[in-house]
Structure 1
Amino acid sequence: MDILWYVLEETIQKYSSFFEATAYMLDRNGTVVISSDGSLLGSKLFRSHPHANLNRVIEGGAKELGVAQDFLYCVSVMQNDMFYCYIAAKSEKVAAVSLCCQTAAIAVGELLVANPDRPLPDILKVSEGSRHSMLVDSLLAQPYNHQKTLALFQTAELDGTLLRSIICIEMVFQTNQYFNINLNLGYQPIIEDARSKIISIVEANKYFNTQDICAYRGENKIVIVKSFINNHDISKVYLALDKICESLCEELSGAYLLDFKIAYGNLYNTISKLRCSYEEAKEIISIGKIEYPDKNFYNVDSIITDIICRFLHPQVVNKVFIPLIKRLTNSEGVLEHNLLESCEAFIDSCMNLNRAAHDIMVHRNTLNNRIAKLNSLTGLDPANSFQDALILKLLIVYLRQQNNLTITEP
C-alpha cells in the first residue's frame, strides 16, 4: 500500500473542496495522476508540448479555458532544484484557483519533504511492487472506481482491452517445534522474509509478461492479474491458465513453512469485471479445500461435482435430498455414514465392486450388503441407473459441504 499516494490524494481533495475548485496533480507530461474530479484521471490537461504550456500558465498566473470561462492556475513543486510534480486548480473564480493551487502545492511540498525516500508521487515513479498493489487495490475496491482504475492502467502502460483472469494464491504459513508464536522467538521475521521470497518466485514465473500484475492482498493472499491476447477459442486460454497454475504449484512446492492453494476465476476482457474473477477464484478455493484438503491447485474440472452442489436449485435440496436424508437416518437420529461412504466408493470406482471393496478395505460381500441396504432404504440403485448414481454422489458431496449438519424441512 502506497500511503503517501493516498495522503496526497486526500490533500488535493481537501483543498479543492475548501476553495470550491477542481484541483489536480500532474506529472511532467501534463497527465492528471490525482484529481478531485475522478473522471479526469489519466487525461492530459494540455494537449501539445505540455511542459512549455505549463510554464506559460505559471508565468501568466491564470489562464481562461474554453467557453465555460473557468480559470486554470498551475504551479510546479520543486525541492532542491528537483521537479516533483505540478499542482493545478480550475474554477470560475480567479482568486479561488490561485489560492487553492498555491495552498495545495505548499501542503504537497511539505509531505514530499517529510518523505525523502518517496520523492515523486507519480505512479510511474513508484516501485513496481507499490504500483502493482495500487492496481490490485483499485481493481478489487468496493465501490469500484472505473475512471481511477483506468487511469492507473494508462499511466502504467497496461492495455485495458486484453483478456484477463485473476489467479488467487491463498497461503498458510506453518509453525513447527522450533518456533513459538506466543513467545515471538523469531517466527514473524522469518515469515516476512518468506513472503518476500514467495512474491519474487511468482513474479519470475516463465509465463508472466509485462502486462501482468502481481501483488499481495492482505497478509495471506497473492493476486495475479494474468493477461492474454484475445482468442476466439477460449478453451485454449483456459488450458493455458491450467498450465500456468501447475507451473506455480511446482515452483512454490519447495517454499519453506508454506502451505498454499491456487485457483483462477473466469476470463474477462473488461477490467471492471475482474473483481468477479477474483471472487470466483476464492470460491473455487473454498470449495476445493473441503473435498480435497491435500491438493494445491483447484480448477473446475477437478471439483465439478462440488461446484454443482454449492449452487444447487432449492427444489433439489427440498424435494430430493431431504427425504433421502430422512430415510438414511436411523432411529437414534444418526445418519448411516457407512452406507454413504461405501456407496461413494462404489460409484467412484465405476461400479467395480472388487476395486471399491479394496479401496475402503472391506470384504466384497460386506460392500454388496451395504449397497443392497441403501437400495432398500432409498429405492436408489446406483449399479443399474446412472441417474441414481448421480443423485447419490451429489447427496454425499452436499452433506460433506454442509459438514453433516442436521437438515430440517424448509
Structure 2
Amino acid sequence: MLEKQTIDHEKTILIGVITKEQNEEKVTEYLDELEFLTYTAGGEVKKRFVQRIDLPNPKTYIGSGKMEEVEAFVKEYEIGSVIFDDELSPVQQRNIEKQLRCKILDRTGLILDIFAQRAQTSYARTQVELAQYEYLLPRLTGLWTHLERQRGGIGMRGPGETEIETDRRIVRDRISLLKKKLTKIDRQMETQRGNRGSLVRVALVGYTNVGKSTLMNVISKSNVFAENKLFATLDTTVRKVVIGNLPFLLSDTVGFIRKLPTQLVESFKSTLDEVREADLLLHVVDISHPNFEEHIASVNKILSEIGSANKETIMVFNKIDLYKPEVIEEDDLTTERTSRHMSLEEWENTWMHRMGGNALFISALNKENLEAFKIQVYKTVRNIHVTRFPYNNFLYPENLDEY
C-alpha cells in the first residue's frame, strides 16, 4: 500500500506598510493578493506584519522597532522566507538579509519565482530567465555580502569584489545572449502571425485568475491548462474558432496583475504582441472579486502602456455564479450603500451604459449566457471582417440565428 505523500509548504511571513498613498483597506487587499501569490509559489503564510509609516525606511523598508518584532518571530517559528509587498531596493534587501538571516523576497521576486515554475515552453523559459537576470544584476553585491558574512571579511574583500565584477560580466553576457535569442524568436513569431492570413484576431486579456483559460476551453473546445492559481497560463495559446460559419483566431494571453514587474512587461514583449496585433479584445473580469473595478483599471493601465488602450473591446464579466453582493439589513440605518451592495442587474446596466452595449455577464465554468456571448462576439467579428473584406459580406449573415 502506497503511503500518502504530504507537501511541505515553506513557512513565510508577509510585510506591508500603510502610507499616505495606500490606506489600511488597500494594504489588506494587497496582502490578500500577496498571500495568494505565496500559496501559488508553494508557501504557507504564518503571519502578516503591517506598519503605519509616512514613507518606507530607505535602509530597511520598515522601522527598527517593527524589524526587531519581525526578527523575533522569524527566529521563534523558523521562518524560511520574509516577503515584502513592494519592490525592495538592493540596499534594503541587503540590510534586511543581514538582520533577519533568512530568504528575503519582494513582490517582484515572488512573481518571477512563480513565472519560473509555470514556464513550460523554451520560449516562456527564455522570457522568464531574461527577467530574472535583469532583476538579479543590481543585487549581486548583496549576494556577495551574504557570502562574506559566512566566510569572514578578511581575505574576501579584494577577491570578493573581483568575483562580483566577474559575476556581473557573466550576467550581462547572459542578458545579451537571451535578448538576441528572444529577438530571433520574435521574428519567427512575427512571421507566424503574418502567415495567419485574413482571419480576424481576437485576444483574451484580463487580470490573472479571472477565468480566461476556462473561457478559451469552452469556446474553442481545446484543452488549455486552467487552475485556480495565479498565472496558470504563461504561454500564449492561439486557436482557430468558428461561430456559425465565421472563422477567427482566438489567443489566450498571460494574466496581468497590479505592480507587474517592469522586467516582465519587457521580456514578455512578444506575448503582448498578440494583444497589440489583435483586432478585438475580450477583457475578461472576475465580477465575484470585491475589487474587480480596480483590476479593470490595472489591466487598462498595462494596455495603455503597450499601445492597445483604444482597441475595440468587449467587457466579459465572468463568474456570475459566484457573485454575492453585500446585504444591508432593513433596520440598519448607519451603513452607507456602496458599489459592493449592487446587484448583478445594477452592474449590468452600469457597464452596458459605459461600454455602449459591449458588456456581457457569463459563467464560463457553468456555461451560463454563452449563447449571448457567442452572438455578441459573432456580430463584432463579422463587422470587422466585412469592413476589411466587403466582397465577403454575403458569406456571413448579420444574425447568427440565421444558421
Shorter-chain-normalised TM-score: which range?
under 0.3
The alignment's TM-score, normalised by the length of structure 1, stands at 0.25
